[in-house]
Amino acid sequence: MSTTLKGRVAVITGSTSGIGLGIARALAGEGAAVMLNGFGDPAEIEKLRAGLAAEFGVQVFYNGADLSKAQACEELVTDAEQRLGAVDILVNNAGIQHVSPVESFPADRWDAVIAINLSSAFHTIRTALPGMKKRGFGRLINIASTHGLVASANKAAYVAAKHGIVGLTKVVALETAETGITCNAICPGWVLTPLVQKQIDARAAAGGIPTAQAERELLIEKQPSARFTTVEQLGALALFLCGPGGANLTGAALPVDGAWTAQ
């Protein structure tokens, strides 16, 4: 078993599913102790937690903080510091989507997307930074999106939040540039997770077309590779950022999007 992150502690928000779970697996696979977070069936989450701990021989804890609330974001980080001794790696991944034209975008959905996809990262980062600065090491990874770099119609809150988190990433990188801490954004294109499956299903229903056709149309409309980015590929990039090769890579917004943003 590989152990390049042995002795490191990672908090990954929204890691009960999708990309967050993929990154948690990658970090645990290199020996990091992990704090999981996110929603789901308690029995399923416990199975996931115990399974990761057994598979990789690392400590794995779970905190179900609702990251739409500032205080819960702070408590997630302090809980990890107390139970695991430190937070060396913080992956801000939790996110939701809502699709609607701007003039009919429900105000409560706007607030929820901004709170979970953007403000939560501000709150976890500001809580984790003092400990990272004291230890002279930190890896802050914000899961943005191609929608942090370019826009699509009907995603006002999501695009605003993702552009916002790219901006936050740059500011934190500047403020930590001489401290041993790096802060980067990963900007995935389409990844086949529950968040995207919902959009494929909605497309199939709206067009009266089979799901497979809706999936293909969704992909080729934006992502020239016509292939989904995988959670394993994103896990591998997160590992690179946490390793020695990533030590002077900071303030970047890294697209993993099959040339979506090259157009």
In 152-161, which positions are buried (b, 16+ CB within 10 angstroms) versus exposed (e)?
A: eeebbbbbbb
Q: How far is the C-alpha of 89 from the C-alpha of 144, rounded, in Å?
A: 16
Among 68, 119, 124, 182, contact with ligand NAD (rule: CB under 6 A): 68
Among 5, 12, 94, 204, contact with ligand NAD (rule: CB under 6 A): 94
Q: How many CB atoms within 10 Å of residue 176?
A: 20
Classify residue 116 by its DSSP letter: I
CB of 251 to ligand NAD, least distance (A): 19
User: What residues does 62 pair with on adjacent strands?
Assistant: 36
Instruction: Read off φ and ψ for residue 61, nearest 5 degrees.
Output: -115, 165
Q: In the structure encoding, which two tokens stand for residue 25, read together?
A: 């697996």
Q: Binding to ligand NAD by residue 188, rule CB under 6 A?
A: yes
Q: Binding to ligand NAD by residue 193, rule CB under 6 A?
A: yes
Q: Binding to ligand NAD by residue 118, rule CB under 6 A?
A: no
Q: Binding to ligand NAD by residue 66, rule CB under 6 A?
A: yes
The catalytic residue among 158, 190, 228, 260 is 158
Is 158 catalytic? The answer is yes
Q: Binding to ligand NAD by residue 214, rule CB under 6 A?
A: no
CB of 114 to ligand NAD, least distance (A): 12
Q: How far is the C-alpha of 58 from the C-alpha of 80, rounded, in Å?
A: 14
Active site residues: 158
* Contact set with ligand NAD (CB under 6 A): 14, 16-20, 37-40, 66-68, 93-96, 116-117, 143, 145, 188, 190-191, 193-196
